[in-house]
Structure 1
Amino acid sequence: MNNIMNTYFEHVKQIAETVLETQEENMRAAANFFAETIKSGHTIYAFGASHAGIITEELFYRTGGLALINPVLTPSLMLNTKPVTMTSKMERLSGFGKIIFSTLPASEGDTLLIHSVSGRNPVSIEMAIAAQEKGLNTVALTNLTYSKQVTSRHSSGKRLFEVCDLVIDNCGDFEDSSMQLAGLEQKVAPTSTAIGSLIANAIVLKTAEKLLDEGITPPVFHSSNVDGGDAFNTKIFKAYTEQIHYM
């Protein structure tokens, strides 16, 4: 008897292996962007709309994470918005991405990581274009299989992977859902959050290693739930106050 949960775990494992085989060079390049941004005293930003924003939340203010990753958490694009369908309308709203970017204290030499699985909606595309115009390094985390099969909703006709300096493919399925069940037309169980978190944390890990190789101690958080954790993290906040914008 087929165990669908085992099949799903194996599928996610296969995707992860494909990512490592095909995207390692681009993940290393993203870590280079991160490391150079930190060394030069600049800022790293992360952005995603709706479920893509979960990767942004994964990256900031957590144990084992880089303290210098600043989240762009726009309320109307996050999953606690009610009705949640508003997030879909807002990420398609022309001009909104440019407005969001204009609120950031971003400058030339900063880096922006944008996560969008389909890569077709204006908010992410506009963020990337505005960032490039200001001299930021732009990194897209997307699903090329998906994105190349849909049209852009942006006036330029371009998708996210076509407007960023660096593109990392999460190597997922079309539409993201991955498991087909007999009697159900729509596939079940997406993979982008699990794989996206793996990719994002791998970039953080490589960034930390690169900084150490150059004699720089990377600002990595301890858990606030261990003795001494709060005091350790407070020192990081004080030392990097110019590069941390979420406090």
Structure 2
Amino acid sequence: MSDVITLYFEHVKNIADTVLRTQQKNINAAAHIFSETIKRGNTIYAFGASHAGIITEELFYRTGGLALINPVLTPSLMLNTKPVTMTSKMERLAGFGETVFSSTPAAKGDALLIHSVSGRNPVAIEMALAARSKGLQTVALTNLTYSKQVTSRHESGKRLFEVCDILIDNCGDFEDSSIQLEGLEQKVAPTSTAIGSLIANSIVIKTVANLLAEGITPPVFHSSNVDGGDEFNAKIFQEYKERIHYM
């Protein structure tokens, strides 16, 4: 069965190639929003529910990461919630997205990245609508193949890709599971985490490159596990304490 490993690797590579070929313009647009947000002295936020939230965790407090990306982490939407099925109920709860957004210090001129693979649940849609109404620019990371084949669970009837300023398609399969194996009806192995992380870090590296091109040195973390890493990162926290909200 080792050939299925190769099959999966090749499938993920093919999706990554498709993203690079079709989504680079949108990734650049998202990076432009991020770099302009930073230049103005504003704040960047990232949000996702359940497994989509893994990309939010990928983006903050890590080596090589941009220190100015603030996660929106809500316990009832994270995978350490017990029972874990509560996360599905909470991301469908009408009004909860507005409540989550209102708990952040987000202000006009800030930016928000929202990751939702299906893009159909109220929590992500409400976050986007609330953010735009407050003057934030919004970036949706979603799966268009998936989202266009499902109905919205939000009262507006809209899905995430229909309510954000910038859309980035992760170019994945319907339902996110990707490989059909003989003898099993359900496909195996999702791709949204691997591809989502690739896209998210592509936004980061382009944001950093944009700022460097304008003579601005953005705060990028060292690993805390190398000598001097803690001291380096402590200086970042001190210098940018007004724009880092996760400490």
Q: TM-score range by the shorter chain?
A: over 0.9
What aligned pairs does 1:18-167 form with structure 2 within 5 A after superposition?
18-167=18-167
Structure 1 residue matching 2:21: 3-state secondary structure: helix
The alpha carbon displacement at 1:242 in A equals: 1.1
List per-residue Cα deviations over 1:156-189 (Å, max 9, x = no partner).
Answer: 0000000000000000000000000101000000
Structure 2 residue matching 1:199: 3-state secondary structure: helix
- Inter-partner Cα distance in structure 2 for 1:242 and 1:112: 17
Which segments of 5 or more consecutive residues in structure 2 lack a partner in the other structure? none
Structure 2 residue matching 1:14: 3-state secondary structure: helix
TM-score (norm 1): 0.99
- Inter-partner Cα distance in structure 2 for 1:31 and 1:239: 22
Match of 1:202 in 2: 202
- Inter-partner Cα distance in structure 2 for 1:244 and 1:9: 36
- Inter-partner Cα distance in structure 2 for 1:3 and 1:106: 48
List per-residue Cα deviations over 1:43-63 (Å, max 9, x = no partner).
Answer: 000000000000000000000
Task: Tell me whether 1:187 sits opposite 2:182 in the alignment.
Answer: no
Match of 2:223 in 1: 223
Structure 2 residue matching 1:52: 3-state secondary structure: helix
TM-score (norm 2): 0.99
Q: Percent identity?
A: 80
CA RMSD of aligned residues (A): 0.8
- Inter-partner Cα distance in structure 1 for 2:88 and 2:232: 39
The alpha carbon displacement at 1:146 in A equals: 0.1
List per-residue Cα deviations over 1:184-238 (Å, max 9, x = no partner).
Answer: 0000000000000000001100000000000000100000000000000010011
Give the letter aligned to residue 31 of structure 2.
A
Number of residue pairs the alignment of both structures matches = 247
Match of 2:245 in 1: 245
- Inter-partner Cα distance in structure 1 for 2:57 and 2:147: 23
Task: Tell me whether 1:234 sits opposite 2:239 in the alignment.
Answer: no
Structure 1 residue matching 2:106: 3-state secondary structure: coil
- Inter-partner Cα distance in structure 2 for 1:205 and 1:5: 29
The alpha carbon displacement at 1:22 in A equals: 0.2
The alpha carbon displacement at 1:89 in A equals: 0.1
The alpha carbon displacement at 1:2 in A equals: 7.5
